[in-house]
């Protein structure tokens, strides 16, 4: 009897547990169903607005999927980056119905990798990262496009005929073309700004050699150029892009030509770092420059008028508000000029230029309708679409200025409607919209600040592209060959070399550049650096006639 | 009783260490708040440290007008509230049976559950599973894979195990069944632990970033963590890469707007912590008085 109640009790309890389990699973089911219902609703409600009025017309168009960078900057009332005024316009006016797959800009490579690995990648993929696109090529994830261009393209084919370098830049080692891109004029991208009012005040001239540069920097630091009676200025920045420009001055760009061979430029590296060490030891730069990893502190010092020589940019009207306007607000008397990089024993080099032929887009090898993908690319590369995406509707969004170029009608309206849509221009060849698209036509000479900056842009064009100025690397970084996996590991291992040199800059006599060089060589040899050397030198020997090199870049120099 | 000299020195030391630690946590937040309420001119010249300069709420206006922050905030709130409800329900339902000695296979289940703490499937298999379940682009891809955190479940199990068996027996004698026992006895007695776990889950869901990034494709469904990270990331990327075309530069949101976004994202968690504080204190007390 007792045993009976006992088992009854266990049975009851077990039933209880089973019931609990069933309830739990029921709850999951209910939850899952309600989710579907919710989804259905939201789809139903969003569908009409998506298709707009042209629903029936679009039914016949082939569908493709296209990646688009998402930067979290689309105003809420404009929709999302994947569904907005411009995607609707493109689908209404284009030959295909594109479905946009937003790719978060910050993690784009990771997200695209995931999508490719799980066969979910869009048909048309846009990505700036050259090595990622090369990886897709090596994995045979993307299509060779020569035939597609031949058969289906109109506007892109015309562009390629006009600018044969596009094919050169898009061709992969197997001799076929895999990428699409855009063409821009070659411009001075980075600019070596110097405070001309300081030069005048201290009776100095524009430095032409590293030695003169050192003297100017020394005077800027020690002779109180801002006249406030305190020694609170720095001659030059060492962090951020200014540090990079000092490297460029000595042609410290890792791989350099020597007797027709591409070799590692150790000598140049030593010279650049010895110069930086001299500046540091003489107390002419911010002692904490290593902590300023992205150059922000240096930028703030420039803005507040505490640095005399600084590398900024002159490629876009937005640079005015970053590099010039704050300085003029803080120091109304400041006078800035953009100068040439001083000539070192290695030559005189451009500070930094843009990539005139930039590859951005590939077609997924698994695309169901490559023809439609090609037609989409053709659409995006056409001048009319480019103009529409850049300036919006003439009349509504833009008006023609006195120089005949389209300009935003109302800046606030333009920002809201268009400024976030720049990622739809990854196939737009700006050179076709010249002379209107460049910064020279976008700045308004009637505005005093813009007039000043226009002058800086012109000075910087001369500084970067003028007579006797060379490009320090053999080509733009995006056109350098991509390392195979095992060699990228080596490159990562030897990247510590930079730490040795930084240590040398800040350690005074305790650790010299020679010691850093010895330690760097040791690491280089131990890590298999000679494999990198033979890779680059072989690549150059085999490809110097076909690769897209500096001389090709210089074909896109602005003709004024 | 007056503290002795040694005690006083000890206390001074403790206060100093705690003050430094508190300042280290507080100052970055104060700085961000100040940056978000200062003028662009002051921020760009590096003049803002602890107090706002030329105070204005312009950055917040730009944030609300120029970005989808309001939508992202609602999404975050929705993910968090629903997520807490689901996770807490199933954590309780998993923890309770594992404390019952008459639950057959208890050790096996516990082992199976704990095993998942040691091994994961990796990103791509997880993604493919989620995709096959058709959960991509739905918030279920956030809720279901992390429905029950094993660690939280074990904490709750331990706490339930510590409820004296006499209470169990007494309720049984009074005719209490499993459900009533769980709902009326166990849960009220575990309130401090439940509050803590809800907070853990809440912070987790509020900050969920990677899963949203990978499993949600529609930007209209992004939460604040993803949005804020996007805004800040595009700025850092810009300063790292010289090779970027001009189009990338225009996309920069000013630093104050980013700071404002950070403030908006952190604020709700700052508000919630003090509200739950009393439960933590209770949680400490519960074990203290016995008998």
CATH, domain B63-288, list 3.40.50.300, 1.10.3720.10, 2.40.40.20, 3.30.360.10: 1.10.3720.10
Do the domain assignments include residue A177? yes
- Residue A98's H or E segment, with its range, is strand A97-104
Final residue of a structural domain among A404, A433, A462: A433
Residues of A in contact with B35 (CB under 8 A): none
Digit-coded pLDDT (tens) for A488-519: 899 999 989 999 999 999 998 899 999 999 99
B101 to chain A, any CB pair closer than 8 A? The answer is no
Domain that holds residue A148: 5-185+356-433
Query: Are A53 and A122 in the same domain?
Result: yes
Angstrom distances, CA of residue B193 to CA of A433, B79, B244: 65, 22, 51
In this prediction, residue A58 carries a pLDDT of 46
Residues recorded for chain B: 291
Query: How distant is the Cα of A510 from the closest Cα of chain B, in angstroms?
Result: 31
Query: Are A158 and A58 in the same domain?
Result: yes
Q: With an 8 Å Cβ cutoff, are A72 and B41 in contact?
A: no
Q: With an 8 Å Cβ cutoff, are A76 and B138 in contact?
A: no
ipTM: 0.76
Query: Are A168 and A259 in the same domain?
Result: no
CATH number at A272 reads 3.40.190.10
Residues of B in contact with A326 (CB under 8 A): 40-41, 44-45
Burial class (CB in 10 A: 0-12, 13-18, 19+), A3: exposed
Query: Are A118 and A215 in the same domain?
Result: no
Query: Are A294 and A256 in the same domain?
Result: yes
Final residue of a structural domain among A384, A401, A433: A433
Query: Are A532 and A422 in the same domain?
Result: no
CB B76 within 8 A of CB B224: yes
Burial class (CB in 10 A: 0-12, 13-18, 19+), A364: buried
CB A429 within 8 A of CB A183: yes
CB A301 within 8 A of CB A234: yes
Q: In chain B, count H helices and then E strands.
A: 16, 0
Q: With an 8 Å Cβ cutoff, are B239 and A294 in contact?
A: yes
What is the radius of gyration, based on Cα positions, of chain A?
29
Q: Report d(CA A251, CA B241) in Å as an integer.
A: 19
Query: Are A149 and A286 in the same domain?
Result: no
Burial class (CB in 10 A: 0-12, 13-18, 19+), A468: exposed
Query: Are A328 and A473 in the same domain?
Result: yes
In this prediction, residue B280 carries a pLDDT of 67
Query: How distant is the Cα of B290 from the closest Cα of chain A, in angstroms?
Result: 30
Residues of A in contact with B66 (CB under 8 A): 73, 75, 415-416
DSSP per-residue codes, B163-212 = S-HHHHHHHHHTT--HHHIIIIIIHHHTHHHHHHHHHHHHHHHHT--HHH
The answer for B 236-265 residues in CB contact with A (under 8 A) is: 236-237, 239-240, 242-253
Angstrom distances, CA of residue A459 to CA of A333, A340, A466, B66, B274: 20, 9, 10, 35, 58
Query: Are A64 and A11 in the same domain?
Result: yes
Do the domain assignments include residue A250? yes
In this prediction, residue B52 carries a pLDDT of 83
Cβ pairs bridging A and B (under 8 Å): 167
Q: Report d(CA A421, CA B216) in Å as an integer.
A: 21
Residues recorded for chain A: 560
Do the domain assignments include residue A540? yes
Question: In terms of pTM, does the model score above 0.90?
Answer: no
Query: What are phi and psi for residue A312, nearest 5 degrees?
Result: -120, -160
Q: For all residues of chain B together, what is the average pLDDT?
A: 83
Of B41, B231, B234, the CB nearest to A329: B41
CB A245 within 8 A of CB A476: no
In this prediction, residue A41 carries a pLDDT of 37
Q: In the structure encoding, which two tokens stand for residue A87, read together?
A: 């995607």
- In 3D space, the residue among A181, A187, A106 whose CA is nearest the CA of residue A435 turns out to be A187
In this prediction, residue A36 carries a pLDDT of 41
Stretches in chain A below the pLDDT threshold 70: 1-59, 559-560
Q: How many domains does chain A have?
A: 2
Q: Report d(CA A55, CA A248) in Å as an integer.
A: 55
Query: How distant is the Cα of A301 from the closest Cα of chain B, in angstroms?
Result: 7
CB A238 within 8 A of CB A279: yes
In this prediction, residue A29 carries a pLDDT of 43
Query: Are A274 and A128 in the same domain?
Result: no
Digit-coded pLDDT (tens) for A189-225: 899 999 999 999 999 999 999 999 999 999 999 998 9
Q: Report d(CA A506, CA A517) in Å as an integer.
A: 15
Do the domain assignments include residue A266? yes
Q: Kindly give, in sequence order, each residue whose CB lies less than 8 Å from that of residue B3, ignoring residues fewer than 6 positions away.
A: B11
Residue B257 reports pLDDT greater than 50: yes
């Amino acid at each position: 009897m007792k045993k009976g109640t006992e088992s009854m009790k266990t049975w009851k309890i077990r039933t209880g547990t089973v019931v609990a389990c069933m309830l739990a699973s029921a709850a999951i089911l209910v939850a899952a169903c309600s989710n579907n219902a919710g989804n259905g609703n939201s789809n139903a409600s969003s569908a009409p607005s998506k298709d707009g009025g042209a629903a029936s017309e679009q039914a016949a168009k082939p569908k493709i999927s296209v990646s688009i960078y998402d930067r979290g900057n689309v105003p809420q009332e404009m929709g999302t980056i994947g569904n907005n005024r411009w995607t609707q316009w493109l689908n209404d006016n284009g030959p295909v119905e594109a479905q946009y797959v937003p790719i978060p800009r910050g993690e784009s490579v990771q997200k695209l990798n995931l999508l490719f690995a799980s066969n979910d990648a869009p048909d048309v993929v846009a990505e700036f990262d050259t090595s990622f696109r090369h990886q897709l090529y090596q994995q045979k994830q993307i299509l060779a496009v020569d035939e597609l261009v031949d058969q289906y393209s109109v506007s892109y084919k015309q562009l390629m005929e006009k600018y044969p370098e596009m094919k050169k830049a898009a061709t992969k080692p197997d001799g076929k073309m895999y990428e699409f891109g855009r063409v821009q004029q070659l411009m001075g991208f980075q600019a070596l700004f110097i405070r001309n009012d300081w030069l005048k005040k201290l009776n100095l001239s524009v430095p032409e050699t590293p030695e003169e540069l050192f003297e100017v920097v020394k005077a800027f630091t020690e002779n109180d150029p801002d006249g406030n009676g305190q020694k609170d200025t720095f001659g030059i920045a060492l962090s951020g892009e200014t540090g990079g420009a000092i490297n460029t001055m000595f042609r410290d760009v890792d791989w350099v030509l020597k007797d027709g061979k591409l070799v590692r430029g150790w000598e140049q590296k030593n010279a650049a770092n010895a110069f930086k060490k001299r500046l540091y030891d003489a107390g002419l730069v911010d002692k904490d420059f290593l902590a300023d990893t992205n150059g922000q502190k240096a930028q703030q010092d420039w803005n507040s008028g505490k640095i005399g020589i600084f590398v900024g940019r002159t490629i876009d009207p937005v640079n005015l508000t970053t590099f010039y306007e704050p300085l003029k607000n803080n120091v109304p008397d400041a006078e800035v000029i953009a100068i040439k990089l001083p000539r070192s024993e290695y030559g005189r080099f451009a500070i930094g230029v843009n990539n005139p032929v930039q590859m951005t887009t590939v077609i997924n090898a698994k695309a169901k309708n490559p023809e439609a993908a090609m037609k989409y690319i053709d659409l995006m590369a056409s001048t009319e679409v480019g103009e529409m995406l850049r300036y919006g509707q003439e009349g509504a969004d833009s008006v023609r200025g006195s120089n005949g170029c389209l300009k935003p009608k109302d800046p606030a309206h333009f920002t809201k409607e268009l400024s976030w849509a720049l990622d739809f221009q990854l196939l737009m060849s700006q050179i076709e919209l010249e002379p209107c698209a460049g910064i020279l036509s976008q700045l308004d000479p009637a505005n005093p600040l813009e007039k000043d900056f226009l002058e800086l842009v012109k000075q910087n064009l001369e500084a970067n592209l003028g007579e006797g100025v060379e490009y320090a690397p053999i080509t733009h970084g995006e056109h350098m060959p991509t390392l195979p996996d095992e060699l990228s590991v080596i490159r990562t291992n030897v990247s510590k070399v930079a730490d040795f040199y930084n240590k040398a800059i800040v350690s005074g006599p305790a650790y010299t550049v020679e010691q850093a060089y010895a330690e760097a060589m040791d690491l280089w040899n131990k890590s298999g650096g000679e494999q990198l050397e033979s890779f680059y030198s072989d690549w150059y020997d085999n490809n110097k006639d076909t690769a897209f090199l500096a001389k090709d870049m210089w074909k896109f120099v602005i003709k004024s | 009783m007056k503290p002795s000299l040694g005690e006083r020195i000890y206390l001074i030391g403790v206060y100093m260490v705690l003050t430094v630690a508190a300042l280290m946590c507080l100052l970055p937040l104060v700085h961000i708040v100040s940056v978000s309420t200062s003028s662009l001119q002051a921020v760009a010249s590096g003049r803002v440290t602890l107090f706002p300069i030329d105070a204005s709420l312009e950055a917040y206006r730009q944030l609300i007008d120029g970005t989808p922050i309001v939508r992202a905030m609602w999404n975050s709130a929705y993910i968090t509230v629903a997520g807490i409800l689901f996770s807490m329900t199933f954590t309780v339902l998993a923890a309770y049976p594992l404390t019952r000695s008459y639950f057959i296979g208890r050790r096996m289940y516990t082992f199976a559950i704990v095993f998942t703490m040691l091994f994961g499937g990796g990103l791509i298999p997880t993604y493919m599973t989620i995709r096959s379940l058709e959960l991509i682009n739905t918030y279920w891809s956030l809720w279901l894979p992390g429905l029950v955190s094993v660690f939280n479940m074990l904490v709750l199990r331990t706490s339930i195990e510590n409820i004296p068996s006499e209470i169990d027996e007494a309720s049984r004698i009074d005719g209490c069944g499993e459900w009533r026992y769980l709902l009326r006895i166990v849960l009220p007695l575990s309130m401090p632990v439940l509050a803590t776990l809800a907070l853990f889950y809440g912070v987790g869901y509020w900050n969920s970033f990677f899963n949203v990034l990978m499993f949600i494709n529609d930007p209209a469904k992004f939460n604040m963590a993803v949005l804020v990270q996007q805004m800040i990331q595009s700025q850092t990327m810009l300063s790292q890469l010289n090779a970027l075309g001009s189009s990338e530069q225009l996309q920069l949101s000013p630093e104050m707007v980013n700071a404002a976004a950070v403030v908006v994202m952190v604020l709700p968690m700052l508000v919630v912590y003090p509200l739950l504080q009393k439960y933590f204190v209770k949680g400490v007390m519960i074990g203290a008085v016995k008998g």
